[in-house]
Amino acid sequence: MKPEPRQFCGLHVLVDDDPRWPYDVVEQTRAACAGGAPVVQLRTKHATDAQAVAWGREIRSLTASAGATFVVNDRFDVALACRADAVHLGQDDLPPAAVPKDVRARLAIGRSTHDLAQAREAASEPVDYVAFGPLFGTTSKDSAYDARGLPLLAEIVRVVAPRPVVAIGGIGLERIPALRAAGATGAAVISAVAAAADPEAATRALAAAFEGAPGEAARTDPAPPHAGREA
């Protein structure tokens, strides 16, 4: 049974196969789960399909044990092969309505958006949550879009309601309160965890901040200074 929209609230840790990160996607997942991330998304831009499925099956085991929701980026076939909970589709991926109905009954669908027109379109699509960004500058992934900022995020939240909105792009610990104030129900990170000296501690601090536990966040040093802003 596919997860409900509320299961996409909170911190999304995107485990990424970029070779610049010191930990592979399985190690990133292990740290994210140990740190309490409610959602883990597998993002593979360098691996073969066979490698992505192999990683995905390991990640499925880890997320299932931790009670975390598991999302696969871009590919619903890989998501099915890994027994993931959801697939996340970008603007250049297969449109959500083109995903077969029997697959949509099994997998939740997330949708990336970058402007108001795309958000309005997403509101009419068969999707369970919407990601919006880049909110701030990012070096973790290529983007054809400039930083979008908080006022537009607040408008996107209104446009796609009642679907959860996950903010992405340049998000570090210090920016989470503003994201929550703008109405975002989730925040996605890459380098804030992948580049952290201690990915588990980084995840714990970010997850606690989004859940409104600033004391917990303040006790944990999540990452070296260069990793405070990411995608």
Cα angle: 66, vertex 177, 137; to 5 degrees: 90
Residue showing tokens 């009419």: 124
Does residue 8 have a pLDDT over 90? yes
CATH of the domain at 71: 3.20.20.70
Taking only the tens place, the pLDDT of each residue in 76-124 is: 999 999 999 999 999 999 999 999 999 999 999 999 999 999 999 999 9
Q: What does pTM read for this prediction?
A: 0.88
Domain of 100, in residue numbers: 5-227
In 3D space, the residue among 185, 227, 222 whose CA is nearest the CA of residue 205 turns out to be 222
pLDDT of residue 147: 77
142's CB contacts (< 8 A; 6+ apart) are: none
Tokens of 101: 């109905």
Percent of the chain with pLDDT over 90: 84
Number of structural domains found in the chain: 1
Does residue 159 have a pLDDT over 60? yes
pLDDT of residue 148: 80
Strand, helix or coil at 72?
Answer: strand
159's CB contacts (< 8 A; 6+ apart) are: 116, 119, 120, 123
* Secondary structure letter of residue 139 according to DSSP: S
Taking only the tens place, the pLDDT of each residue in 169-195 is: 999 999 999 999 999 999 999 999 999
pLDDT of residue 211: 83
